[in-house]
Each structure stands twice: as structure tokens, then as C-alpha cells.
């Protein structure tokens, strides 16, 4: 039950009435008309920008248009007041029954808050960490963001595929293989000394060396590199992916598809060559020279004729090379082929979750997706900024196990998956995140994950108290929804809770449209805060206590409100992949 969507439809009906009466011209674009909570709750329950966004197109004074629209809306029996504020905003006050109906819907509808957004299948690619070592905390942010975004879109009615792209071709996995081969020699008893520069130094490759030793004995030592390299590479990649899958499972993340980069390659160039021929057939490939990049020239820049993709035809800044000087495919060509596979698999909307260092990747890949899908698919690239790992405000030192960074598993083991998931989502993805290992386990209002989970646990505590006070009462949600007298809920704290429950469907839908799961985390914190504030008020004012053993009527009404609010907290936490505990210890 989304009252904002309902009243947005009502505002459009009122605008159509103004068109029919000749007060507005025909053919106006209503797409920018929204209904939202007013910035100041004292101004009303809902606000619409309709007069502001239509005035110029309608050649009307926005305030006069606002008055005409407000007059039309005053005829709605659910509206007690429609007033024009500032340059043309219309603020609406609603009859209390509107919010009482929301509370009842939240009690009885298992899918309260979920939406039915239009659109075809969505493919979200996230994590896609190189299989060269354990996941670090930076990987964890993109992993949690992508997973929560997938759950958010499912809650909004979209069909979603969760995908991981395994970078198992190219130079970096050969470096991995050589590093693992060194550990293999170590497992055979050799003294290897310091790890040479350029190889992976972490202890995590020691088990791979032992495995190779058990499986091959000393046989690999007798082989030239071109023979042992593919054997060791395959073993190392499999071991690294098993470790990465294990780390992901520990944080509650799963994928539907693990796509191997190597499957794009094959006889005569494989899928990448297929892509190149398709682009040629569309007239999107040509031989030409690129202008030198601005600023200092990169060392590998060559002024030569190249095979180029017409990326500028689809919004990119420059055309892009598809072949290197040695005739092999560029990484960009492989990336286009990979995204073409997603499109061919049926996805009409593609989302890539990447680190902030991939900013230069966005325009070229959006151009590529437009080209391979003939404009029928869209790509949104979500960049996740760095995570600064702290302990009581001080930077955390590097991990011995990885040799370079603190592993995600080390952080999971220390603070738990709930703290990681919630706090990774409590800032927008493109803002740098300070993750303090000491603060995320504090039991205080300053720790958002604790405060929200404590809010959910408090709802269950209220229910247990009510059952003790009224053991013979039917306190099921269905019973409360049918006969609790919600009209007695008139305290500002109670009204605030009802408003926040009513806003949840709108927050979920807008977060899904914008691909911004942090909006859910923010709303949950605000919702939990409203419950805690009202609870504390009841300690000082006995007449506002949620459970009053001498007042059955107020207890049933307030329990209905708290149960509805608890359902919102549980729903939002489920979207974020965070547990909703019944009690906190």
C-alpha cells in the first residue's frame, strides 16, 4: 500500500480535470510530477511539485496554478487541508484513517512495501575480484552493495541474475601460477627465501603448493614452464575461487552465474572474434588513428593506424581500439564480448558494480552496450569508493596472511557479517567509507546496525510484555488489524511512527529505481529512532507506555502500531541481508 503512489495518481486526475475545464492546456508532460513527504513534517503529510514543474510549459503563474490544483484536491474526502506554500508547492493534510489503513496493511500484507516496477530481466555483475588471492575489505563493499541491490530489485518486482566475472585469462593468473609454483617447490622441501618482486607473497598460496605436491609429487619439476604453467594455473585458480566463494558465503552473498573469461576465447578468437565481425557488419569498426591523449603521454601510447570501435557514435569521448599492435584483442574488446553475452542471455538492463578506479570505464562500456543491443539494453555502472579500515580511529595495519591488505574474512571473524553488511550500506556507494572495527560493535545509538537491530528486538519485547499482561487476549496481527482502535493514537510520536511506516513503500521503490540501497538503511535508522524515542517518552509519561496492564484498549492500539513498525524493520533488514533478531544480548 503506497499512499504516495495513490496520491500521485490523484494529483494527475486533478490535473486532467483542470485540462478538461480549460484551466490548463492539453498535451502537458506530467512525468516530472511527484508526491513526496514535505521537508518539514509540520507543513503536512504529503507535498507535490506539480504546479512548479508544469507552470512554465503551461505558461501559468506557479502559485495561481497551485491554488487551482489545491482547490481541486480539496474535494478528495481523504484530504483535510490543501495549501500552497512558497513558489507553488502544495502541502496536503490527510484524514487519520489513511494512516490507520497503512498500519492495518502492514500488519496483514506479507509483501507490504514491495513494488511491481516495470522492466525486463536485470543482470547485476558484482565482486568479480581477480582470482589471485583472498578478498579484501574493498572487495567486500562492492560485494555487499551488489548483493543488496539485487535483493532490492527483487523486492521491487524485477527478475534478477546475480553474476560474477572470473578474470581467469591474461597475465595476472600466470603470475598467480608462478607464485603457486614457488610454494610447490617450498612444499617439496626447497628453501625459497624471500618471495621475488612481482609475485604474490601471501601465505594463502601455501595450501596450493601442498596440494600440488600431494597430486604431482616431484613431476612438475621435470617439466618445462610451458607444460607445468597451465597445470599449476588451473589448480591455483580453482583454489582461489573456492576461497573466494567461502568468503562470500560467510557474508551471506551468493551468485547465480560464475562466468569465466576464458570461455570468451577459443578457436579463431572465439566469442571476441564473433563480436568483432558483428560490429564490422554494423559498420561500427574502422581503421584509423587516434589523437594523442591530453596531458603527459602514457609510455605505451602509439601513434599508429588501429582497428577502432565507433564509440563516439554512442556517447563516448573518443573511439576505442579493439586490437593491440601484436594483433591480439584489447581488454575492451573482451569486455564488449562479455556484455554481449549478458544481452544474448536475455538481460535488458545491465548493472556493473566496480571499484572507484574504473571511472574511465563507464562511458565506453555504456556505448558498447548500446551498440551490441541496438539500443535495446542499458548499462548502469555503480562505482564503490574506498574503505578506510580503522580501529578506534587509528588505521589498521596490513594483514600477514595476505601480505598486502586486511582480508575480508579477518573482518568477518572479528565483527560479524551483520555489522559489515549494514555499515557498508550506511553510506552512498560513491562516498569514501570509514569502517571502524571498534565502533561497529558498540551497543549505542552511535552504532546504526545495533540501533536498528535493537529496534526490531524491542518490538518483540513489547509483544512478550503484552502477552504477559493480557494472557487471554488474541494479540495476533490479524486480530489487531481488525479491531484495534487506532483512532486513539494521537501523540506526535505515534503519528511520526505511522508516517514512517507509510513512507517505507515509497522509499523502497525510489531506492530500486535509483539503484541506491543506502536509502533503505537510512530509513530503517530513522524508523528505529522513532520507536526508541516513543519508548523513552513512555518511561517518563505513564499514559504513553506501550503496554499498560490496566488499559487493554491503548495496549492493543499501540501494539498494533509497534508490530507494523517491526514488520518494516524486518522487511528492510532482509533487503540489506542483515538479520532481524528477536532479542539482543
Residue 167 covered by a domain: no
Domain edge (last residue) among 94, 122, 155: 94
The answer to whether residues 533 and 444 touch, using CB atoms and an 8 Å cutoff, is no
Q: Which domain holds residue 556?
A: 448-576
Confidence at 399, pLDDT banded by 50, 70, 90: low
DSSP 3-state percent helix, strand, coil across the chain (nearest 5): 55, 10, 35
Give the integer Cα–Cα distance in Å for 134 and 424.
19
- Say if residue 514's pLDDT is above 70: yes
Q: Give the pLDDT confidence score for residue 401 in this predicted structure.
A: 55
Name the one residue in this structure whose C-alpha cell is 512525468.
31
Give the integer Cα–Cα distance in Å for 152 and 501.
18
pTM: 0.92
Mean pLDDT score, 288-299: 80
**Which range (256-270, 422-436, 527-541) has the least confidence?**
256-270
505: cell is 513503500
- Say if residue 249's pLDDT is above 90: yes
DSSP H helical ranges for 45-170: 50-58, 62-73, 96-108, 137-155
227: cell is 607444460
Domain edge (last residue) among 50, 71, 94: 94
Mean pLDDT score, 401-417: 82
The 10 Å CB-count burial string (b at 16+, else e) for 216-239 is: beeebeeeeeeebbebbbebbbeb
Confidence at 402, pLDDT banded by 50, 70, 90: low
- Say if residue 376's pLDDT is above 80: yes
- Of the candidates 60, 62, 14, which has an alpha carbon nearest to the alpha carbon of residue 35? 14
- Each residue's pLDDT tens digit, 186-237: 999 999 888 899 898 888 999 999 999 999 999 999 999 999 999 999 999 9
The answer to whether residues 87 and 52 touch, using CB atoms and an 8 Å cutoff, is yes
The answer to whether residues 140 and 408 touch, using CB atoms and an 8 Å cutoff, is yes
Give the integer Cα–Cα distance in Å for 65 and 92.
16
Give the integer Cα–Cα distance in Å for 560 and 269.
64
Confidence at 300, pLDDT banded by 50, 70, 90: low
Residue 246 covered by a domain: no
DSSP H helical ranges for 486-544: 492-514, 518-540
Confidence at 328, pLDDT banded by 50, 70, 90: confident
Give the integer Cα–Cα distance in Å for 54 and 29.
8
Residue 545 covered by a domain: yes
Q: Give the pLDDT confidence score for residue 358 in this predicted structure.
A: 87
Mean pLDDT score, 374-392: 93
Q: Percent of the chain beyond pLDDT 90? A: 77
Residue 296 covered by a domain: no
Average pLDDT of the residues of the chain: 92
Name the one residue in this structure whose C-alpha cell is 507509510.
502
Q: Give the pLDDT confidence score for residue 413 in this predicted structure.
A: 92
Confidence at 49, pLDDT banded by 50, 70, 90: very high
Confidence at 104, pLDDT banded by 50, 70, 90: very high
Give the integer Cα–Cα distance in Å for 3 and 48.
13
Mean pLDDT score, 134-158: 94
The answer to whether residues 527 and 455 touch, using CB atoms and an 8 Å cutoff, is yes
CATH number of the domain that residue 73 is part of: 3.30.1360.70
Give the integer Cα–Cα distance in Å for 439 and 283.
57
Q: Percent of the chain beyond pLDDT 70? A: 98
- Say if residue 180's pLDDT is above 90: yes
Residue 484 covered by a domain: yes
Give the integer Cα–Cα distance in Å for 563 and 114.
18
Residue 15 covered by a domain: yes
8-state DSSP, 286:
E
Mean pLDDT score, 337-347: 95
- Say if residue 24's pLDDT is above 70: yes
- Say if residue 355's pLDDT is above 70: yes
The answer to whether residues 6 and 28 touch, using CB atoms and an 8 Å cutoff, is no
Q: Into how many domains does the chain fold?
A: 2
Mean pLDDT score, 96-116: 95
Distance of CA 234 to the CA centre of its chain: 33
Please provide the size of the chain in residues. Answer: 585
Q: Distances from the Cα of 94 to the Cαs of 63, 98, 231, 443, 515, in angstroms?
A: 22, 7, 70, 38, 30
Give the integer Cα–Cα distance in Å for 471 and 96.
30
Mean pLDDT score, 370-384: 96
Give the integer Cα–Cα distance in Å for 494 and 73.
26
Residue 90 covered by a domain: yes
Higher pLDDT, 300 or 519: 519
Name the one residue in this structure whose C-alpha cell is 520507536.
531
Domain edge (last residue) among 42, 74, 94: 94
Confidence at 404, pLDDT banded by 50, 70, 90: low
CATH number of the domain that residue 530 is part of: 1.10.730.10
Amino acid at each position: 500500500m503506497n499512499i504516495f503512489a495513490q496520491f500521485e495518481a490523484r494529483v494527475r486526475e486533478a490535473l486532467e480535470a483542470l485540462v478538461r475545464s480549460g484551466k490548463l492546456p492539453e498535451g502537458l508532460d506530467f512525468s516530472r510530477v511527484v508526491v513526496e513527504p514535505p521537508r518539514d513534517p509540520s507543513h503536512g503529510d504529503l507535498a507535490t511539485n506539480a504546479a512548479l514543474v508544469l507552470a512554465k510549459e503551461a505558461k501559468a503563474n506557479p502559485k495561481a496554478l497551485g491554488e487551482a490544483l489545491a482547490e481541486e484536491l480539496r474535494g478528495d474526502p481523504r484530504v483535510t487541508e490543501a495549501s500552497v506554500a512558497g513558489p507553488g508547492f502544495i502541502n496536503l493534510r490527510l484524514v487519520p484513517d489513511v494512516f490507520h489503513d497503512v498500519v492495518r496493511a502492514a500488519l496483514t500484507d506479507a509483501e507490504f512495501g514491495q513494488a511491481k516496477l516495470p522492466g525486463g530481466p536485470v543482470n547485476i555483475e558484482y565482486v568479480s575480484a581477480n582470482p589471485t588471492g583472498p578478498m579484501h575489505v574493498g572487495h567486500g563493499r562492492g560485494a555487499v552493495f551488489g548483493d543488496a541491490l539485487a535483493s532490492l530489485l527483487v523486492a521491487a518486482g524485477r527478475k534478477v541474475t546475480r553474476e560474477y566475472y572470473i578474470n581467469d585469462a591474461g597475465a595476472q593468473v600466470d603470475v598467480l601460477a608462478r607464485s603457486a609454483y614457488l610454494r610447490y617447490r617450498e612444499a617439496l622441501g626447497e628453501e625459497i627465501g624471500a618471495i621475488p618482486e612481482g609475485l604474490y607473497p601471501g601465505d594463502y598460496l601455501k595450501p596450493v603448493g601442498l596440494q600440488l605436491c600431494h597430486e604431482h609429487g616431484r613431476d612438475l619439476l621435470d617439466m618445462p614452464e610451458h607444460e607445468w604453467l597451465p597445470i599449476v594455473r588451473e589448480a591455483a585458480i580453482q583454489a582461489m575461487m573456492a576461497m573466494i566463494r567461502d568468503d562470500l558465503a560467510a557474508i551471506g552473498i551468493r551468485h547465480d552465474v560464475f562466468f569465466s573469461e576464458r570461455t570468451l576465447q577459443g578457436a579463431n578468437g572465439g566469442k571476441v572474434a564473433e563480436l568483432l565481425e558483428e560490429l564490422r557488419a554494423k559498420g561500427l569498426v574502422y581503421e584509423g588513428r587516434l589523437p594523442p591523449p591530453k596531458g603527459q603521454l602514457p609510455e605505451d601510447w602509439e601513434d599508429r593506424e588501429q582497428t577502432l570501435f565507433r564509440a563516439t557514435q554512442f556517447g563516448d569521448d573518443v573511439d576505442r581500439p579493439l586490437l593491440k599492435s601484436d594483433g591480439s584483442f584489447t581488454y575492451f574488446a573482451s569486455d564488449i564480448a562479455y556484455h554481449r553475452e549478458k544481452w544474448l542471455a536475455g538481460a535488458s538492463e545491465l548493472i556493473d558494480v566496480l571499484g572507484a578506479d574504473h571511472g574511465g570505464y563507464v562511458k565506453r562500456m555504456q556505448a558498447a552496450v548500446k551498440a551490441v543491443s541496438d539500443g535495446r539494453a542499458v548499462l548502469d555502472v555503480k562505482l564503490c569508493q574506498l574503505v578506510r579500515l580503522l580501529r578506534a580511529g587509528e588505521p589498521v595495519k596490513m594483514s600477514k596472511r595476505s601480505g598486502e591488505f586486511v582480508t575480508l574474512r579477518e573482518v568477518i571473524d572479528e565483527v560479524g557479517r551483520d555489522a559489515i553488511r549494514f555499515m557498508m550500506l550506511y553510506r552512498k556507494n560513491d562516498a569514501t567509507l570509514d569502517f571502524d572495527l571498534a565502533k561497529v560493535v558498540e551497543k549505542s545509538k552511535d552504532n546504526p546496525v545495533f540501533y536498528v537491530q535493537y529496534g526490531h528486538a524491542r518490538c518483540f519485547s513489547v509483544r512478550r510484555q503484552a502477552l504477559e499482561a493480557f494472557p487471554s487476549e488474541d494479540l495476533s496481527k490479524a486480530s489487531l488489524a481488525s479491531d484495534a482502535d487506532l483512532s486513539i493514537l494521537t501523540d506526535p510520536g505515534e503519528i511520526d511512527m505511522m508516517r514512517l511506516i507509510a513512507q517505507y513503500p515509497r522509499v523502497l521503490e525510489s531506492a530500486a529505481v535509483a539503484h541506491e540501497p543506502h536509502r533503505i538503511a537510512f530509513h530503517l535508522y530513522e524508523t528505529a529512532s522513532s520507536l526508541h524515542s516513543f519508548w523513552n517518552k513512555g518511561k517518563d509519561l505513564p499514559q504513553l507506555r506501550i503496554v499498560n496492564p490496566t488499559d487493554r484498549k491503548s495496549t492493543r492500539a499501540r501494539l498494533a502500531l509497534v508490530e507494523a513498525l517491526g514488520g518494516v524493520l524486518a522487511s528492510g533488514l532482509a533487503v540489506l541481508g542483515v538479520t532481524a533478531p528477536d532479542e539482543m544480548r
